[in-house]
Structure formats: structure tokens, C-alpha cells
Chains A and B, each alone.
Chain A
């Protein structure tokens, strides 16, 4: 099968959707304020690249900051639950309760408590991924390599030495897997925080452009947010692949 045929087989779905959208918007004469054509959206992005680049960078920055914060807090909580039984019971109960309740319902309360600043945005973004992160880290800490565990028993290592030299390195693949699996959720929560209380970022652009009937701008923000999510997810998937190969 030639390369062109293989590419065509993979992209025909997306290409067909874009083509139908383009033809429909041109032929039906639907108002561009309601539904702009894909070419119009592309032209809007190319018209003001620095504006979109700045807001995309802001979204990506907040998303990465929330990743780092969530990873640090989840690791600390995971270690606490690994070492202390009461902490483990409490954390496991919280995970179970949160699993079936959408975390977004707590956002208005966070805004009410922490105001409309960047801190509230970061808390919202972190809260969305903290509990799933914690589940991954708990799973990573719960299954250390059996050989290493036995060796540590034979050598009579202390608990903190076992944690530093065996459990934490064993947890790294799970941490990277958590990052890869949670990329869409992290991006969604970042955009949601920007949408509700932000003054920068693609979430803010989507809200403000729609409010000003700048529909091409709102569509462009949606397209860029989707592209950013895809890039982040694929990059982290690749990082996960490399890490799993390294640790296997």
C-alpha cells in the first residue's frame, strides 16, 4: 500500500467532515456570525497569530503548572497513605466518593472562597486531576518489584530507605502513565477555569469571543484547544512509551 493511500485512509473521516462543513456554509448561505466556514476560521487564526499564540501559551503554561502541582501533592499524599494506615483509609474513602461525583460541582464554591485570581484557577485545574493522579500513584506504590522487596527484607533496610531506593523509582512509570491518561482532563479543567474566571487563555477567548459575536474567534479558540489537547496527549503518550521501555 502506498504512503499516500495509507494517509488518505487515515484522514478521510476528518477531511470529509471539513469538506461537508465548508460546502454547507457556502451553499446554504448561513450567516457567518452563526457558523463560519473552516477556511474563515483558518483565516482568522492566520490574521492574528500572536494573539492566539499568546493565549495558547497561557493555557499550556497553566496546564503544565497544574500538572506539576498535582503530581507533587499526589506523590506526597500517596507516600503518606503508603506509610500510615489511617491516612490510607481516609484517602481511599475520598477517592471512592469522588469517583462517582463530578468534580466541577465544587468549582463555584472554590470561586466563592478563593476569589477570581490565578490561585483559584490553579486550584480548579489541580483539583480536577488530583484524585485520578492519586489513584495511579497509589497503584504504583502498591506493587513494588518482588525481587527488590525480598532483597530489602534480607538486607534489613529501613522503611524510608525502601521507599527512596525501591518504591519511588518503581512508581515513576505509573506517574508518567497518569500524566498521559489525564492529559484531556487536565486541559479541560484548565480551560474551564479560564472560561469561568480567567482573563487569559483559550477558555477566556472562547467565552469573550462568543459574547461579542466574534464566532470565528470562538471557533478558532475551540480548534486550537483541541489541537493543544491532541499535541499534549500524543507527546505524553510518547513519553510514556519511552519510560515503560526504559523501566521494563
Chain B
């Protein structure tokens, strides 16, 4: 059994032992997990699009990299209260999870692509491939493992973004439950929310770990 799976089991036991299965907790957990997955999807999509544009168009690359550099430094917590004004309440968590995912996935994917691969690069030069052709036909096949690795690393960040989004303003979710428990002085509910969040994080991490392991075996 892998370590994330062990942690998953420990968190599940802790949640059940604390108070049995609470239906409110299940609803909140579903909402938070859904926001996290949405954030992971849109954040990684944005990172892939920016990286693809900057790698295939050398002229726009310095400007896009500078822009991404600034976006990476935006603290999600100060953006939360502003996103609440612009987006519906149920989208705030997903937006912040997406931003947090982008910050990590962009850095990881960019560094994976920046690592020189002499055989592939030489082959591309020999065939006089354009940057677009090099990325699509030669480098794309090397990216599944770094992509899943980046997504796995971004899971805690995305969950952090989703919870901060729920703290900033949301109508459901584990973050909201935590704040309610804190304000009403309900330590049991607070611990239940904490362990449920840890359970979601460990579950997603275990899935990412398993997929990455399978891909690594297939591609290397």
C-alpha cells in the first residue's frame, strides 16, 4: 500500500470515528472536491495554452513569460474578495483553485520543456522542423509524465485555493463549514471538516501518484 493510500485510510477512519457519516459533511465535501477538480482542469488548461503559445511563437515568448511570472506572484488570498464581486458565489473557489493550479503547473511544465533533450532537439533540427512541429510531433510525447506530475503537485495548492475561495465567500463547501464551526465553537465539526479535506487531498494525491507511476512505466 502506498503512503498516500495509507494517509487516505487514516483520514477516513478519523472522520468516521469522530462523528459517523454526516450528510452535511458529505454535501460540503462533494462541493469542495468538485471545485478543486474544476480548478485543476482550467488552471492546467491555461498553463498549457500559455506554454504552447510561447513555445511556438518566439516573438511573443518574452512578453508571455513575463506576464506568467507576474501571475505566479499573485497571492490568491487577496484576489478572493475581488473575485466575489465579479463571479457567482459557486465559481469563486474554482477560480482561485484554477489560479493556484496555474501558478504551479506553469512552473513545472515550463521547466520540463526547458530541459534540453539533445536527441529530440537534434532530430528536429535535422528535419528543419518549425517550433510548432517540434512541440507537436517531437516534444509532446515526452510531456505526459511531467504533466501528471505537475497536476499531482498542484493538488494541495488547488485545494488551498478552493478553501480560500470558500472563506472569501461561498454558499457551500468544507471551507465554509470550517469557518461556521470556528465561529460557533464546534471543535468536533471543525476536526471532521479538517479530516474530510485531508481525505480528499490524500485521495486525489493517491490517484495522481498511481497514474504517474503507470505513465512512468509506459513512457520510460
| A contact set with B: CB distance below 8 Å | 9-14, 16-17, 34-35, 96-97, 99-106, 108-109, 111-112, 184, 187-188, 191-192, 195-196, 202-203, 206-207, 209-211, 215, 218-219, 221-222, 225-226, 229-230, 233
Contact = CB atoms under 8 A, between A and B. Distances in A.
A210 B80 CA distance: 10
B156 A207 contact: no
Contact of B167 (A35, A103, A109, A196): A196
Listed from nearest, the 8 A-B pairs whose CB atoms lie closest are A13-B67, A210-B81, A100-B205, A13-B63, A12-B63, A102-B160, A206-B78, A222-B78
A92 to B, nearest CB: 10
Interface of A is mostly: helix
Contact of A105 (B63, B185, B194): B194
24 contacts: A13-B63, A14-B70, A17-B67, A34-B85, A100-B7, A100-B156, A100-B202, A101-B197, A102-B160, A103-B160, A108-B194, A109-B194, A112-B190, A188-B76, A191-B75, A203-B77, A206-B77, A206-B78, A206-B82, A210-B82, A215-B82, A229-B74, A229-B75, A230-B73
Contacts of B145: none
Contact of B82 (A17, A196, A222): A222
Given A34-B85, A215-B82, 16 more contacts: A9-B62, A34-B86, A96-B3, A100-B156, A101-B7, A102-B156, A102-B159, A106-B194, A108-B178, A108-B181, A109-B194, A184-B72, A195-B78, A202-B78, A229-B75, A230-B73
B79 interface: yes
Given A100-B156, A108-B181, A203 B163 contact: no
- The interface size bin for chain B is 35 or more
Interface string B82-100: 1011100000000000000
Interface in B163-210: 163-164, 167, 178-179, 181-182, 185, 187, 190-191, 193-194, 197-198, 201-202, 205
B163 A192 contact: no
Contacts of B182: 108, 111-112
Nearest to B103: A184
A211 B164 CA distance: 16
A174 B158 CA distance: 27
B156 A101 contact: yes
A100 B164 contact: no
Given A14-B67, A100-B202, A191-B77, A219 B82 contact: yes
B157 interface: yes
B59 interface: yes
B80 to A, nearest CB: 8
Contacts of A203: 77-78
A196 B67 CA distance: 29
A140 B142 CA distance: 30
Nearest to A15: B63
Contacts of B132: none
